[in-house]
């Protein structure tokens, strides 16, 4: 009996610790020096590729979670004083209802849920790379949005807070999403 209680207590402590580690309050890092951001995300992230504002986990076995969704990339924008202006968490899946429901417990109902009403292709381009046979297809769309609900597969979900804004961008066809915390 005592072993069972001890085992349950240990599981609870590990779960709570994991929950606290995996639920960084990104909004609290806005306006802080980039070093504070780096301390908060931990040593699993690197920023040696691309630009110095792009942090990623190179070890495919290391997993980070934010409201139950796995992520391994974070992008930040800083000002000239190296103060964090925005933080984007990139997910390899579309934000699901479990994430959304947990998120609104902490941040409240969103101010806007925008769904696509109409989508019209306005330009298609096939630029060719210099001295290469490589071409890419670039399309430009005009999108008309309307207010909707989470169940209507939104493109954007927006929370406007006193000192910051949260904007979720859901790309359903690509099965990707990102959530950005930014200073107003």
Q: What is the pLDDT of residues 18-29, one digit of tens each?
A: 444 456 899 999
Q: What is the pLDDT of residue 43?
A: 66
Domains of the chain: 25-116+152-183 (3.40.1000)
| Dihedral (CA of 159, 67, 28, 83) sign | negative
Helix/strand/coil percentages in the chain, nearest 5 = 25, 40, 35
Does 9 have pLDDT greater than 70?
no
| 31/10: higher pLDDT | 31
| 82/107: higher pLDDT | 107
Q: Read off the pLDDT of each residue in 130-144 and give the average, rounded to a whole number.
A: 73
What is the value of pTM for the model shown?
A: 0.76
């Amino acid at each position: 009996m005592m072993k069972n209680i001890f085992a349950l207590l240990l599981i609870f402590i590990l779960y709570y610790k994991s929950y606290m580690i995996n639920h960084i309050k990104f909004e609290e890092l806005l306006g802080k020096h980039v070093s504070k951001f780096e301390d908060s995300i931990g040593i699993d992230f690197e920023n040696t590729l691309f630009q110095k504002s792009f942090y990623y986990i190179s070890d495919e076995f290391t997993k980070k979670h934010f409201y139950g969704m796995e992520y391994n990339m974070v992008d930040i924008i800083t000002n000239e004083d190296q103060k964090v202006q925005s933080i984007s968490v990139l997910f390899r899946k579309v934000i699901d209802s479990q994430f959304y429901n947990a998120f609104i417990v902490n941040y409240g109902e969103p101010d806007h849920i925008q769904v696509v009403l109409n989508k019209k292709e306005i330009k298609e381009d096939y630029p060719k790379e210099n001295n290469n046979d490589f071409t890419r297809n670039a399309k430009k769309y005009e999108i008309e949005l309307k207010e909707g609900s989470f169940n209507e597969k939104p493109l954007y979900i927006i929370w406007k807070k006193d000192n910051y804004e949260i904007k979720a961008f859901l790309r359903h066809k690509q099965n990707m999403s990102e959530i950005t915390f930014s200073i107003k």
